[in-house]
Amino acid sequence: MKKKIVVPAGLLAAALVAGGLYFTHVHALQKVDAEPAPPTAPIVAGTVAQHEVPIYLTGVGTVIAYNTDVVRAQIQGQIISINFTEGQTVHAGDLLAQIDPRPYQALVDQYTGNLERDQAQLKNAQANLARYTNLGDKGYATPQLVETQQAQVGELQAAIKTDNALIDAAKVQLSYTRLTSPIDGVVGIRQIDVGNIISPSNTNGLVVVTQLHPISLIFTLPETSLPLIQQQQEKTKKPFTVFAYNQDNTMLLDQGQLGLVNNEILQTTGSIQLKANFDNKANKLWPGELVNARLLVDTRHNGLTVPAGVVQQGAKGPYAYVVNPDNTVAIRPIKVAQISDGQALIDSGLSANEQVVVDGQYKLQPGTHVTFLHGQAAQEAAAQQALQAPIP
């Protein structure tokens, strides 16, 4: 006769509860494995900054010399010396070349001799006039003789005036034998050599002297910029500051002041010409150089800026990816006032201290979860984005 095993009701209930918990735990683990976490995209993030931002109008211009003079001869003669080196800095009045002065010195000596002769004759004529006048008063000389002597004195006085004028003219011609620099500047390539004959008909002259301190820049802006310039000029009553940069905007060449807004708009291009002047102490501006000009017209107080990489272009205009508090991203339409020195000034669409995506946008969609890269990882991500970005 077999014995029956009797299981207490309490143990049976405990076993059932334990089995139910095990089944629930295994089922939960299977559910977790079946629903993986949403994917995340690595990004480089930045923060919307708020500070004073300069407002620029940018244009392209050409550097021109403040003064350019061609040193030409005003007389004809043989050059007997060249007194400068090409590329040399000279000052106003410095001797650049000497024309043979002997023919012109001979004229001065000749006219000086004529003057001395006429002065001696005048002295004798005046003495005779005094004697004839005295004799005439006593009745020993006729009035006609006195008048003749007076005419001779007057003739000699006129001759002396002519002699003085001829001497002055000859001295001027003699001074023209010294070819001097009319301005402070730098001399260019010599156009004639020692021993050659130079004359006013030589159109190239001796050399060109170019003034570099100060120096000027003529640049253009769209005619639509003119009302803003006029408004700010009326408001500030001060000259605008102009910054000159090299062609790729990587180097500030000099800082100057706006000197002129031209008095007409170029109808062919729809632009306005402006002229700025620079001290050019470092000689970074050179005549004929093509540079980029930035005209500082205003300063935006509490302006919002982001790195230029934040700004993306879409079918409806510029936009940016904004990072939400839950580390997802959203697209935000924005309005950009200007992009300068790698920073974009935002008119609307963003707020101060918001986080925005600087690099990694090509992997993003609205709602994508993101992780933040820092340091070396951020630099590598930016480089990888540059390689994968489509060529425009």
**DSSP conformation letters of 27-57:** HHHHHHHHSPPPPEEEEEEEE-EEEEEEEEE
C-alpha–C-alpha distance, residues 392 and 371, integer Å: 28
95: in domain: yes
- Over residues 26-32, mean pLDDT: 48
The answer to whether residues 76 and 171 belong to one domain is no
The answer to whether residues 260 and 139 belong to one domain is no
- Over residues 77-96, mean pLDDT: 96
The answer to whether residues 257 and 353 belong to one domain is yes
The answer to whether the CB of 218 falls within 8 A of the CB of 196 is: no
pLDDT at 33 over 80: no
C-alpha–C-alpha distance, residues 370 and 324, integer Å: 10
234: in domain: yes
Place of tokens 């061609």: 70
Q: Domain end: 191, 210, 229, which one?
A: 210
pLDDT of residue 135: 81
- Over residues 196-223, mean pLDDT: 94
Lowest mean pLDDT among 76-80, 85-89, 374-378: 374-378
| DSSP for residue 282 | T
The answer to whether residues 163 and 250 belong to one domain is no
The answer to whether residues 81 and 184 belong to one domain is yes
The answer to whether residues 281 and 372 belong to one domain is yes
The answer to whether residues 342 and 327 belong to one domain is yes
93: in domain: yes
Encode 339-358: b = buried (16+ Cβ within 10 Å), e = exposed: ebeebbbbeebbeeebbbbb
The answer to whether residues 124 and 190 belong to one domain is no
321: in domain: yes
Cut 0.75: pTM above it: no
Name the band, by pLDDT with cuts 50, 70 and 90, for residue 36: low
Side-by-side strand order, sheet with 95-99: 178-180, 95-99, 77-82, 197-198
- Over residues 330-359, mean pLDDT: 90
329: in domain: yes
The answer to whether residues 186 and 131 belong to one domain is no
382: in domain: yes
Name the band, by pLDDT with cuts 50, 70 and 90, for residue 28: very low
Reported as a single tens digit per residue, the pLDDT across 355-367 is 999 998 888 889 9
9: in domain: no
How many domains does the chain contain in total? 3
φ/ψ of 152, rounded to 5, equals -65, -40
The answer to whether the CB of 360 falls within 8 A of the CB of 43 is: yes
Structure tokens, 343 = 């920073």
pLDDT of residue 107: 95
The answer to whether residues 126 and 87 belong to one domain is no
Alpha carbon dihedral 71, 74, 79, 81, in 10-degree steps, equals -50
346: in domain: yes
Q: Domain end: 159, 194, 210, which one?
A: 210
The answer to whether residues 156 and 243 belong to one domain is no
The answer to whether the CB of 67 falls within 8 A of the CB of 185 is: yes
Q: What is the CATH number of the domain that holds 188?
A: 2.40.50.100
pLDDT of residue 381: 52
Domain containing 297 equals 50-64+213-388
C-alpha–C-alpha distance, residues 228 and 161, integer Å: 64
Q: What is the CATH number of the domain that holds 323?
A: 2.40.30.170
Q: What is the CATH number of the domain that holds 139?
A: 1.10.287
Lowest mean pLDDT among 157-161, 280-284, 289-293, 341-345: 341-345
Question: What is the pLDDT of the chain when averaged over all its residues?
Answer: 86
The answer to whether residues 238 and 340 belong to one domain is yes
The 3-class SS string of 130-147 reads: HHHHHHHHHCCCCHHHHH
pLDDT at 62 over 50: yes
